[in-house]
Amino acid sequence: MFAWVLGGTSEGRQLCELCASHGVPTVVSVASEYGGELVEDLRGVEVRVGKLNADDMTRLIAEGVACVLDATHPYAQNVSRNVRAVCENTGTPYFRVLRPETPFVGGNVVRVKTPEEAAAYLAAREGHALLTTGVNSLPAFTEIPDFKRRLSVRVLPDRQSLARCHELGFSTEQIIAMKGPFPRALNEALLQARGARFLVSKDGGDVGGAQDKADAAQNVGATLVLIERPPEPLGCPSGDIKAALRFANARLGRPEMPRPRFPIFLDLDSKRVVVFGGGRIAVRRVQTLLAYGAQVRVVAPELCGCMPNGVETTLRKYQNGDCDGAALVVAATDDKSVNAAIAAEAKALGIPISCASDAALGSFHFPGTFRDEAVSVGLTSGDCRYSKHLVRSLAMHWPTIRNVAQCSLRAERARTHDDTSESES
Task: Going from the first residue of the chain to its last (425 residues), give the mean pLDDT of each consecutive group of 10, the final group possibly shorter.
Answer: 92 89 88 73 83 94 96 90 95 93 80 95 96 94 95 92 95 92 92 96 85 92 93 88 93 76 88 94 92 94 85 94 96 93 95 87 87 86 73 89 88 72 50
Nearest Cα neighbor of 132 from 145, 118, 144 is 118
Q: Which residues pair with 226 in a beta bridge?
A: 111, 201
Spatial contact of 257 and 22, defined as CB atoms under 8 Å apart: yes
Angle between helices 10-21 and 241-251 (to 10 degrees): 50
Exposure string for 236-245, b = 16+ CB within 10 A, e = fewer: eebeebebbb
* Dihedral angle, C-alpha 82, 83, 84, 86, nearest 10 °: 90
Exposure string for 114-123, b = 16+ CB within 10 A, e = fewer: ebebbbebbe
Exposure string for 25-41, b = 16+ CB within 10 A, e = fewer: bbbbbbbbebbbebbee
Which pLDDT value is given to residue 418?
58
The counts of H helices and E strands in the chain are 14, 19
Rounded Cα distance, 370 and 395, in Å: 7
Which pLDDT value is given to residue 263?
85
pTM attached to this predicted model: 0.60
Rounded Cα distance, 271 and 275, in Å: 13
User: Rg of the chain's alpha carbons, rounded to an integer?
Assistant: 28
Q: CA 261, 266, 268 angle in degrees (round to 5)?
A: 140
